[in-house]
Amino acid sequence: MDNAKIRKVVAVLATLVVLAVVNIGIHRRERLLSDGRVVLLELAPVDPRSLMQGDYMALRFKIAADAFHAVQSGTAEDGRIVAQVDARGVASFKRFADGSSPAGDEVLLRYRVRDSQPKFATNAFFFQEGTADRYRNARYGEFRVAPDGEMILTGLRGADLALLGAAKDLRLQ
């Protein structure tokens, strides 16, 4: 085979590998959305000047402050915490994961440390332009959580735990 044919074969194989990886990621996210446990994380206060910036809301979670208040800045690494989930679905920090299986009222939550700050799935909630008022009273982030602690933000809820905004509208259809 000449070099041109080899390059074509390599390009086709590389494309197939990329497509396979992307499709596996999509499948995992779809499965998390359909099968993940609903867990609510209480929002922590955010600087009101940065609460609404364009078409997204900056998010911080109380559970991060509870878990990391005693951890020195710069020493935290990516990992998982164990959170206790009450009857309403609201999670609170219990301990850092130690490899043991969580109890029935507990869930693993994966976090990543970025810029010395723990992040649970995301630090922003994006919404359609002009709909910021729907989310001003947000008090909880709604997540779908997999058994291994992977999580995805699916909506925001108010103090009464009612869904806010577009997520509420989509679920009614």
Regarding whether 142 and 85 lie in a shared domain, the answer is: yes
Regarding whether 156 and 86 lie in a shared domain, the answer is: yes
Regarding whether 48 and 120 lie in a shared domain, the answer is: yes
100 or 35: which leads in pLDDT: 100
Domain with 30, as residue range(s), is: 1-35
What is the mean predicted confidence (pLDDT) over 143-158? Answer: 92
Kindly report the pTM of this predicted structure.
0.75
Q: What average pLDDT does the chain have?
A: 82
Sign of the alpha-carbon torsion through 86, 89, 95, 98: positive
Regarding whether 149 and 67 lie in a shared domain, the answer is: yes
Is residue 143 over pLDDT 80? yes
Regarding whether 64 and 2 lie in a shared domain, the answer is: no
105 or 118: which leads in pLDDT: 105
Regarding whether 11 and 87 lie in a shared domain, the answer is: no
Q: If we measure between CA atoms, which residue out of 143, 125, 121 comes closest to residue 135? A: 125
Is residue 153 over pLDDT 80? yes
Regarding whether 43 and 29 lie in a shared domain, the answer is: no
DSSP state of 41: E
Regarding whether 125 and 47 lie in a shared domain, the answer is: yes
pLDDT at 75: 62
Partners of 157 in the beta sheet?
A: 140, 163
Q: If we measure between CA atoms, which residue out of 133, 30, 46, 42 comes closest to residue 86? A: 42
pLDDT at 70: 62
Give the list of residues 6+ apart from residue 146 with CB closer than 8 angstroms, or none: 32, 35, 36, 37
pLDDT at 127: 78
48 or 158: which leads in pLDDT: 158
Question: 39-76, pLDDT tens digit by residue?
Answer: 888 988 664 444 455 677 888 899 988 888 766 555 67
* H-run or E-run covering 117: strand 117-119
Regarding whether 109 and 43 lie in a shared domain, the answer is: yes
pLDDT at 132: 77
Number of domains in the chain: 2
Q: List the single range of 60-64, 104-108, 133-137 with lowest mean pLDDT.
A: 133-137
Backbone angles phi, psi at 168, to 5 degrees: -65, -45
Let me know: does 167 contact 33? Beta carbons within 8 Å.
no
Regarding whether 75 and 2 lie in a shared domain, the answer is: no
DSSP string, 52-105: EETTEEE--BHHHHHHHTTSPTTT--SEEEEEEE-TTSBEEEEEE--SSPP-TT
Regarding whether 93 and 61 lie in a shared domain, the answer is: yes
Regarding whether 163 and 123 lie in a shared domain, the answer is: yes
